[in-house]
Amino acid sequence: MSLTSPVVLVTGAARRIGAAIVLHLHAQGFRVIVHYRHSAREAKALVAHLCATRPDSAIALSADLGVQAACARLIDQSQAWQGRLDAVVNNASSFFRTPIGAVDEPSWAALIDGNLKASFFVSQQAAPHLRESRGAIVNLCDVHAERPLPGFSVYTAAKAGIVSLTRSLALELAPHVRVNAVSPGSLTWPEDDTFTPAEQAAAEAAIPLARIGTGVDIAKAVCFLLCGNDYITGQILNVDGGASLVSH
């Protein structure tokens, strides 16, 4: 990552955490590929903003990462853009409640495919290019992979799979590619009613640093794992304000 203007692909990058990661990495000199699935308007607006700041420094690409062939096309297009690929941030994620007794196969597939399957097949397709550039992968998991969140069993299992995937790929792709993960705690709350006000208040009260996290907090951690220390691999970095230290 000591190259001038390395190229990074950030999946699920049009909004929220993904957009914050893109903005931060771009400010550090990266050329960025903004992946999106449905949020075309937001992705293209973000790319226009970045290119106005630094011409030809960003591109938006669409793909359904629940499909292996789409993952392959995304990586091929990403590498072709600038003739190289130096980093991948697997941020794309599906997230919704799955109470036991109400889980069906479409819900299972949406959460497993949107989290674990996407991260695996994007990483697998990117691996040859990252070996060539001696690059890095950062996955996004969740502190609830270690401390399960009731009512979200399938999501939690998918994120736990990403923890294991991170460690496995770190061994398999060494020494040429480093693989780490950022594990967020409570972040800026979703723009829907996934969590009740009481649940939000309880989560915030349990954070030792007395605030929920932001996309910028996650972006700084991602940047550190990409280019802050090239002797770190196979690690899961909790970014949760200390919440994982507190007993529930």
Active site residues: 155
Q: Strand 58-62 to strand 236-239: parallel, antiparallel, or no bridges (unpaired)?
A: unpaired
* Cβ burial, residue 191 (10 Å; 0-12/13-18/19+): exposed
Give the burial string for 128-161 (b: 16+ CB within 10 Å, else e): ebbeebebbbbbbbbbbbeeebeebbbbbbbbbb
Q: In whole angstroms, give the CA distance from residue 41 to residue 96.
A: 23
| Contact yes or no for 236/166 (Cβ under 8 A) | yes
In single-letter form, the type of residue at position 242 comes to G
Q: In whole angstroms, give the CA distance from residue 205 to residue 38.
A: 34
**Packing angle of the helix pair 105-112, 153-173 (nearest 10 deg):** 40
Residue 84 CA to its chain's centroid (Å): 20
Q: In whole angstroms, give the CA distance from residue 70 to residue 63.
A: 6
Matching residue, tokens 């190229």: 7
In single-letter form, the type of residue at position 212 comes to I
